[in-house]
Amino acid sequence: MTCPVIVVRPEPGCAATVAAGRAQGLDMRAFPLFEVHPRSWQLPPDDSFDALLLGSANAVRHSGDALTSLRGKRAYAVGEATAEAARGAGLEVAGIGRGGLQSVLDTLRGPLRLLRLAGEDHVPLRLLPGITIDTRIVYTVEPRPLPPALADTLRNRAVVMLHSASAARHFAAECDRLGVSRARVAVAALGPRIADAAGGGWRVLRSAQIADERALLALAGDLCHASDEAKER
């Protein structure tokens, strides 16, 4: 496959996605358009919650010293990468989701008090009976301008992987600002909510079958293969 696959998520997730894609033979290109920064936050009393709810490895990486006092605490993670970060911080992973944080929550039963460590832009969740969530914002993600080298790559056809709704909105706005035709770009989104945030006009806009990194890489590979076949015709 010769079609480039662009990853715009912040580091270190960007490098991890690029490495996973290259292992599958994809022409991966890293252009992180975001920087993650920790935010000051207050840890509630330990007896006010039963477990942690983690929707991103960044929630673990940027929680600061407060997380050290939670070693051994139960944690529910959105996916394996987040679970790995949680284990590295000394947390006891009690459950791992597949298909988004709501899928984690839907498997739990009350009474249960959860402390959710999240970014400033986070997905709203539907609560189940007997479950409460105390959300603390521990990091923020700041956008970067789309670099000229990426704009040039996009003008020659590429597949872009989008991991969040905020990334989709920022990427779309930057393409419009720099005059990059959406009709030249195929978008692989982690889920329907992210695809909706990207808007219309793209050459292809599709969502992964489940909100999972492997499924998203498979979709990017499919779009890349379709792009190469179109070039041959």
Structural domains in the chain (count) = 2
Q: How far apart are CA 30 and CA 21, in angstroms?
A: 11
- For residues 105 and 181, state if they share a domain: no
Express each pLDDT in 37-86 by its tens digit. 999 999 999 999 999 999 999 999 999 998 899 999 999 999 888 999 99
Q: How far apart are CA 1 and CA 10, in angstroms?
A: 25
pLDDT at 232 over 70: no
**Phi, psi (deg, nearest 5) at residue 54:** -120, 115
- For residues 49 and 121, state if they share a domain: yes
How large a percentage of the chain has pLDDT more than 70?
A: 96
- For residues 56 and 41, state if they share a domain: yes
Whether the model clears a pTM of 0.85, i.e. scores above it, the answer is: yes
Question: Which of these three, 142, 174, 193, is where a domain ends?
Answer: 142
- 32: its two tokens: 């992180």
**DSSP letters for 74-111:** EEEESSHHHHHHHHHTT-EEEEE-SSSHHHHHTT--SS
CATH code assigned at 131: 3.40.50.10090
Q: How far apart are CA 199 and CA 175, in angstroms?
A: 12
pLDDT at 1 over 70: no
Mean of pLDDT values over 203-208: 97
- For residues 90 and 177, state if they share a domain: no
Residue 72's domain spans which residues? 36-142
- For residues 137 and 148, state if they share a domain: no
| Mean confidence (pLDDT) of the chain | 93
Mean of pLDDT values over 183-197: 95
Q: What is the Cα 174 distance to its own chain's centre?
A: 19
**Amino acid (1-letter code) at residue 35:** E
Q: What is the pLDDT of residue 4?
A: 96
Express each pLDDT in 21-46 by its tens digit. 999 999 999 999 999 999 999 999 99
Q: What is the pLDDT of residue 233?
A: 33
Neighbouring residues of 44: CB distance < 8 A, sequence distance ≥ 6: 115, 134, 136
The two counts, helices (H) then strands (E), for the chain are: 8, 11
Question: Which of these three, 121, 142, 163, is where a domain ends?
Answer: 142
Question: Which of these three, 142, 170, 193, is where a domain ends?
Answer: 142
- For residues 29 and 108, state if they share a domain: no
**Amino acid (1-letter code) at residue 167:** A
Q: How far apart are CA 154 and CA 150, in angstroms?
A: 6
Express each pLDDT in 115-134 by its tens digit. 999 999 888 999 999 999 99
